[in-house]
Amino acid sequence: MTDDPHDPGSGSGPQPGASGFDAFYAATAKRLVSTVYAMTGDLAEAEDAVQEAYVRAWQHWDRLVREGDPLPWVRTVASRLAISTWRRTRGRLLAHRRHGQQADVPELSADRVALITALRELTPPQRQVIVLHHLLDLPVEQVARETGASSGAVRTRLSRARKLLGARLSDISSTSVNTAAKEAAHHA
């Protein structure tokens, strides 16, 4: 048994009331920000969407707890808020890509940067299903429920996204290997 109120092994699950919400938030917020960040590629937007989702969850907290696990609801709200932001700020995102990473983004490993770069090249719906299915290990049916798409549409998005990611990541890998080989030859 753990003390994590969202850990299914704890046996208690999220509890009604302010202390139950606080415990739920503490146990789930960091991972949810990571999830939405993987979908958006923008940490500030991810934090904003997640914060708003928790505000909305608090407004309906006791009902959400009575209905079962509130995490899928909060994740769906955060994802939808992020997607709305994508649609409103498409031009700003293009400018961001042209001008590079923001200075306040923490340094990431080369593999992580490559993955985030590749994810940014997917459409928002493709990126969303990849993150939910592959990073959070949600089954296709749950991804369909959370995104409002059919299971078939989710499978199609996953298939197309995997193909694009595979091609993009192999391009990045080839470029990295070639650059490293040239640098090694230059220093030899």
- What digits encode the pLDDT tens for the residues 7-59? 444 446 778 788 889 999 999 999 999 998 888 888 888 899 999 999 999 99
d(CA 117, CA 174): 15
Low-confidence residues of the chain: pLDDT under 50? 1-11, 177, 180-182, 184-188
Kindly report the pTM of this predicted structure. Answer: 0.55
Q: What backbone torsions phi and psi does residue 143 show, to the nearest 5 degrees?
A: -60, -40
Give the per-residue pLDDT at 1.
37
Q: What is the pLDDT of residue 86?
A: 56
Per-residue confidence (pLDDT) for residue 165, from 0 to 100:
87
- pLDDT confidence of residue 32: 93
**Nearest C-alpha neighbor of 76 from the set 92, 54, 103:** 54
Alpha helices in the chain (DSSP H): 17-40, 43-59, 61-67, 71-88, 90-99, 110-120, 124-130, 140-147, 151-187
- Find all residues with CB under 8 Å of 130, minimum gap 6, and list them: 119, 122, 158, 161, 162, 165
